């Protein structure tokens, strides 16, 4: 059983009469020095650099010791003993050379707290070299990368600097903290992942002769990003940005020094600090790193570099770079804290910041580089792929020993499997169903499980031999970026009801956090929402008891989307292969979109044919809901599958007919798609809303919100049931508004299983909405309000609306969004004010509804002036704010509402574009106007010139 569908109620002009009747019945900083002592505002360092503090000053800060460290001039002769080719037995470095036996900071392991929190001290450091040509030193382009030079690690894991007669090295007092950026439940810090070295610890190189070995790799790079234990997060947070830094326009492509880097991945969680073969594989494919004549330098775990086993020898490094950290400077001391991302220094984000969803090419460039660079590590990669495919065909008795072809006549489809959590339970039966369906049709079905591979190279070959790949949202799909050009990927989206966390894995109005890695690449990326029946748990429970069953302690691990196993109907995979994979080079864009709508798929990214040209398209779906019908895991009949393909909310497009006969119609059709893209990008560019998470955690099964789960709209047409007769074809704007309303309903349907939707007549709309909310309660939204993500108040809040930009001008609240409980006193008072303005002697004002609502609120709060700072807030209410993206730099990441390219001849109104509605945490929920409507994007001419 599935939750009931939203009910679409339709209330005509009678509600206006009800509202009027009710009215009549109412009673009357300074420059910061860097480690060299020169400021970040300098364009280049001076020729002679002096340390910020003298050796005696440094020594004065150290604990008293019986030993002294001499720091004579260093000559090249002194460095002769530091060689990677020495055949002398390395000795344990003398503690007297380190001067740190009395270190009271480095060895207090007993005091280390694996659940400590970040406490940055000092000022945030910014790279002073970003405006220069750094040639082989690409890391200098990023504020999250920091370099130290000529540093050694002793056999006891003590770090110190050594002297050199080369240019003044970067040798500051430096500390790498082990605290991760954020903790998750059950996760604690790996306290070994730390490093501390003082600028006063520089040792004469001659003392190291025969004791330490100099690494034969010039540059060692330690990488960190949040959640980099998950390969998909590592790819999107670290790898793509690292590649972008290394390939900025100023980077000198003729330099080969980058090839000498040894990479280490810093996973700061002790119970998750395992480097995967995928980490090694992806990092081996960075620019210019290898070719087939050189051994592959695989990445290593950072802990093995920072804190190796106690029997390791002393080793010195010319350069160590730390990327993905927040760098803080306090005088001459530098502290690095693990950060969220590797800062890519202005590289355009693929999740927001641009009104053009086709502009970002970062993932496409990275994928192309990986395929080329990893492939170049093998002498005959094409031959290896053919041999592997032949082995698979032979194992399935599809060819014999006489076959000599290149296997191109076969289409290989891989089903991604995992050995533990998120395991595809019925994969064997799905594989059998597909083989039966496509018997003799040239389709080969194989299982893909990276946990069964033994080397990074085997993973690369496994994926390069496929033509298509299917798997549930998660890390096992990340290696899909290694598929051959123009391959197909189907991302199965887990079922996540409104009361569970994890809605981001079900996004269809833009790519999921994992799916974004395929964005604007040559890969064809599709999605399909799994329904309730994909969860083999609490079966047979009534709908109103399911949540209680799911959340029982014994079911919790099987219930959470990221740990549960799942079922998939065979028909879903069969439809995907038949309609989208087979004949993949000859698909027309329109046909693909129609098939996707019919069968419940979303097309995130596709290369298709349009007007005899191959183009890139995104057909996002804001109206796509998970199937609500029972699943069929046994019936393999294609005819039955076709009959049941349109399950759930009717996936057929219910918009009024859209005759694209003019430029004006084409404009509105394009704007309709752009609105969905803008909303999706704006949502995903932000962190998940904190209010919703807290609400889910605190809400009990029996809790009841003060404001019912009801959406209320007003318009002269019921846009949810638009028909040709009720929507004149001369008004393309109605089609756009209908699409926008459906998107709002879909957004709230995704979080509420008991949603009720009501359409009111536009007759005296201010009265209607207020009267209806007073009598019944609910959430009101203008039909031209663009929903980024649904705003939901806590259960104990009984009123919410928006402080609009016009409030200080006396125009009142921005009531394009308002929510109220049944019988709400503020709404009641606003009705009184409107009654007096319409039928009494009260001044009506410029905006009847907004001014009446704001005045009623001000009275209830005992406020006297709209310009009060802060604006008075009544307990049990919420007031959102409205602002322009042009004036709020903290919201600059959000996409802008702009006229689409190709329609320069159209004259449009833009006075109300790029205004957004947000909460006190600057989380954006709405754009004040959907693009293409009054005051924002409305066409003012026929667009024909």
pLDDT tens digits, one per residue of 224-272: 888 888 888 899 888 988 888 887 654 444 433 345 689 999 988 776 6
Q: Between β-strands 877-884 and 915-918, what pairing exists: parallel, antiparallel or unpaired?
A: antiparallel
846 has a pLDDT exceeding 70 = no
pTM: 0.62
Q: Contact 371/541 with Cβ under 8 angstroms?
A: no
- The larger pLDDT score, comparing residue 828 to residue 42, is at 828
437 has a pLDDT exceeding 60 = yes
Average pLDDT, the chain: 76
Residue 861 burial by Cβ neighbours in a 10 Å radius (0-12, 13-18, 19+): middle
SS3 content of the chain, % helix, strand, coil (to 5): 30, 15, 50
User: pLDDT digits over 296-311, tens only?
Assistant: 888 899 888 988 876 6
User: pLDDT digits over 896-910, tens only?
Assistant: 888 887 777 788 888
Percent of the chain at pLDDT > 90 equals 28
User: pLDDT digits over 5-29, tens only?
Assistant: 444 444 444 444 445 445 444 544 3
463 has a pLDDT exceeding 90 = yes
Ranked by mean pLDDT, which of 66-70, 605-609, 676-680, 720-724 comes out on top?
605-609
Question: Residue 884: which region, alpha, beta or left (left: phi > 0; alpha: psi -120 to 50)?
Answer: beta
- Residues 6 or more apart whose CB falls under 8 angstroms from that of 691 comprise 792, 794, 919, 923
Average pLDDT over residues 711-736: 70
Q: Which of the residue ranges 233-237, 389-393, 845-849 would you say has the lowest mean pLDDT?
A: 845-849
647 has a pLDDT exceeding 50 = no
Average pLDDT over residues 1-8: 44
Cα 527 to its chain centre, rounded Å, is 16
CA distance 64 to 70: 16
Provide the pLDDT confidence category of residue 135 given band limits of 50, 70 and 90.
low
Q: Where are the domains of the chain?
A: 138-338, 361-632, 675-686+703-819+872-943
219 has a pLDDT exceeding 60 = yes
Provide the pLDDT confidence category of residue 867 given band limits of 50, 70 and 90.
low
pLDDT confidence of residue 376? 85
pLDDT confidence of residue 735? 81
Provide the pLDDT confidence category of residue 179 given band limits of 50, 70 and 90.
confident
Provide the pLDDT confidence category of residue 46 given band limits of 50, 70 and 90.
very low
Average pLDDT over residues 80-106: 39
The first and second tokens of residue 738, run together, are: 């209908």
Give the residue from 772, 816, 778, 814 showing the smallest Cα distance to 799: 778
User: pLDDT digits over 341-384, tens only?
Assistant: 787 654 455 654 445 677 788 899 899 989 988 888 888 899 99
pLDDT confidence of residue 887? 85
Q: Dihedral of CA 698/703/704/706: which sign?
A: negative
Written as one string, the DSSP assignment of 748-805 is HHTT-TT-EEEEE-STTHHHHHHHHHHHH-EEEE-TT-EESS-----TT--EEEEE-T
Q: Which of the residue ranges 175-189, 518-532, 649-663, 786-800 would you say has the lowest mean pLDDT?
A: 649-663
Percent of the chain at pLDDT > 70 equals 71
Q: Alpha helices of 505-613 — where are they, by DSSP H? A: 543-550, 556-559, 570-576, 589-599
Q: Which of the residue ranges 450-454, 568-572, 735-739 would you say has the lowest mean pLDDT?
A: 735-739
Average pLDDT over residues 754-782: 86
Give the residue from 629, 590, 616, 677 showing the smallest Cα distance to 932: 677
Average pLDDT over residues 722-748: 73
pLDDT confidence of residue 695? 40
pLDDT confidence of residue 95? 42
71 has a pLDDT exceeding 60 = no
- Determine phi and psi for 48, rounding to 5 degrees: -115, 120
pLDDT confidence of residue 818? 95
DSSP class of 159: E
Provide the pLDDT confidence category of residue 762 given band limits of 50, 70 and 90.
low
578 has a pLDDT exceeding 80 = yes
DSSP class of 896: P
Residue pointed to by tokens 């995903």: 684
Q: Alpha helices of 274-380 — where are they, by DSSP H? A: 277-284, 302-306, 362-375
Average pLDDT over residues 828-846: 79
Provide the pLDDT confidence category of residue 492 given band limits of 50, 70 and 90.
very high
Q: Dihedral of CA 707/507/510/516: which sign?
A: positive
Provide the pLDDT confidence category of residue 432 given band limits of 50, 70 and 90.
very high
Average pLDDT over residues 481-502: 91
CB atoms within 10 A of CB 676: 23
405 has a pLDDT exceeding 60 = yes
Average pLDDT over residues 793-812: 82
């Amino acid at each position: 059983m599935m939750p009931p569908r939203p009910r679409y109620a339709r209330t005509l002009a009678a509600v206006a009469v009800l509202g009027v009747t009710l009215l009549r019945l109412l009673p009357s900083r300074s420059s910061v020095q860097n480690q060299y002592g020169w400021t970040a505002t300098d364009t280049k360092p001076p020729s002679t650099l002096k340390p910020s503090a003298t050796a005696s000053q440094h020594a004065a800060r150290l604990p008293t010791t019986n030993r002294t460290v001499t720091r004579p001039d260093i000559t090249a002769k002194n460095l002769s003993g530091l060689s990677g080719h020495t055949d002398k037995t390395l000795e344990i470095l003398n503690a007297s050379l380190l001067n740190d036996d009395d270190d009271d900071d480095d060895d207090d392991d007993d005091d280390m707290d694996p659940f400590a929190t970040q406490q940055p001290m000092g000022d945030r450091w910014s790279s002073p070299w970003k405006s220069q040509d750094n040639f082989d030193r690409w890391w200098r382009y990023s504020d999250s990368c920091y370099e130290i030079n000529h540093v050694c690690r002793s056999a006891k894991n003590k770090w110190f600097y050594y002297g050199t007669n080369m240019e003044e090295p970067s040798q500051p007092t430096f500390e790498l903290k082990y605290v991760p950026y954020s903790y998750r439940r059950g996760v604690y810090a790996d306290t070994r992942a730390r490093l501390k070295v003082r600028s006063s610890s520089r040792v004469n190189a001659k003392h190291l002769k025969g004791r330490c070995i100099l690494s034969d790799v010039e540059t060692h790079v330690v990488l960190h990003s949040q959640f980099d234990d998950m390969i998909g997060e590592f790819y999107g947070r670290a790898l793509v940005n690292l590649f972008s830094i290394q390939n900025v326009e100023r980077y000198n492509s003729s330099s080969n020094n980058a090839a000498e880097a040894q990479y280490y991945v810093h996973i700061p969680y002790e119970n998750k600090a395992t480097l995967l073969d995928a980490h090694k594989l992806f990092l081996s494919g960075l620019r210019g790193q290898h070719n087939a004549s050189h051994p592959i330098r695989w990445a290593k775990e950072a802990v093995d570099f920072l804190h190796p086993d106690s029997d390791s020898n002393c080793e010195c490094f010319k350069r160590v770079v730390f990327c993905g950290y927040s760098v803080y400077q306090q005088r001459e001391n530098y502290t690095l804290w693990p950060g969220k991302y590797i800062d890519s220094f202005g590289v355009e984000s693929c999740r927001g910041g641009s009104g053009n969803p086709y502009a970002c090419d970062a993932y496409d460039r990275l994928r192309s580089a990986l395929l080329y660079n990893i492939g170049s590590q093998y002498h005959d990669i094409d031959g290896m792929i053919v041999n592997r495919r032949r082995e698979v065909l032979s194992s399935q008795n599809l060819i014999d020993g006489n076959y000599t072809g290149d296997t191109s006549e076969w289409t290989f489809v891989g089903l991604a499997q995992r050995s533990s959590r998120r395991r595809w339970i019925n994969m064997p039966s799905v594989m059998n169903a597909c083989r039966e369906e496509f018997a003799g049709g040239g389709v080969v079905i194989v299982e893909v499980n990276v946990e069964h591979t033994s080397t990074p190279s085997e993973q690369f070959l496994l994926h390069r031999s496929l033509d298509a790949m299917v798997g549930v949202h998660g890390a096992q799909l990340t290696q899909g970026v290694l598929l051959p050009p123009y391959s197909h990927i189907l991302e199965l989206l887990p079922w996540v009801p409104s009361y569970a966390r994890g809605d981001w894995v079900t996004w269809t109005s833009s790519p999921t956090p994992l799916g974004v890695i395929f964005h604007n690449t040559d890969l064809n990326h599709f999605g399909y929402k799994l329904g309730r029946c994909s969860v083999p748990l609490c079966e047979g429970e009534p709908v109103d008891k399911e949540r209680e069953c799911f959340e029982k302690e014994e079911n919790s691990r099987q219930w959470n989307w990221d740990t549960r196993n799942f079922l998939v109907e065979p028909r879903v995979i069969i439809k995907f292969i038949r309609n989208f994979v087979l004949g993949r080079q000859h698909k027309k864009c329109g046909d693909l979109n129609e098939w996707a709508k019919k069968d419940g798929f979303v097309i995130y990214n596709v290369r298709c044919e349009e007007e005899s040209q191959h183009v890139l398209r995104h057909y996002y779906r804001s109206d796509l809901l998970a199937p609500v019908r029972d699943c069929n895991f046994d019936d393999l009949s294609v005819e039955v599958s076709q009959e049941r393909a349109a399950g759930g909310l009717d996936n057929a497009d219910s918009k009024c007919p859209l005759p694209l006969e003019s430029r004006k119609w084409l404009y509105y059709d394009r704007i309709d798609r752009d609105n969905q893209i803008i909303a999706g990008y704006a949502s995903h560019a932000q962190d998940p809303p904190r209010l919703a998470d807290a609400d889910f955690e605190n809400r009990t099964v029996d809790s009841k919100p003060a404001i019912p789960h009801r959406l209320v709209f007003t318009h002269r047409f019921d846009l949810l049931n638009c028909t040709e007769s009720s929507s004149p074809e001369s008004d393309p704007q109605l089609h756009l508004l209908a699409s926008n309303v459906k998107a709002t309903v879909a957004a709230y349907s995704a979080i509420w299983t008991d949603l009720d939707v009501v359409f009111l007549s536009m007759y005296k709309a201010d009265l209607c909405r207020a009267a209806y909310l007073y009598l019944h309660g609910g959430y009101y939204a203008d039909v031209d309000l663009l929903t980024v993500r649904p705003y939901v108040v806590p259960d104990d809040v009984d009123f919410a609306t928006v402080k609009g930009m016009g409030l200080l001008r006396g125009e009142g609240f921005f009531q394009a969004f308002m929510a109220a409980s049944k019988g709400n006193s503020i709404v009641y008072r606003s009705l009184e004010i409107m009654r007096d303005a319409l039928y009494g002697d009260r001044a009506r004002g410029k905006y009847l509804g907004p001014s009446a609502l704001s005045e009623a609120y001000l009275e209830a709060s005992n406020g006297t002036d709209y310009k009060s700072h802060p604006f008075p807030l009544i307990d049990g209410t919420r007031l959102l704010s409205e602002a322009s993206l042009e004036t709020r730099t903290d919201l600059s990441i959000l996409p802008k509402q702009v006229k689409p390219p190709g329609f320069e001849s159209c004259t449009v109104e833009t006075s109300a574009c790029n205004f957004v509605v947000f909460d006190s945490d600057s989380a954006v929920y709405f754009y004040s106007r959907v693009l293409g409507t009054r005051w924002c994007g409305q066409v003012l001419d026929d667009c024909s010139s």
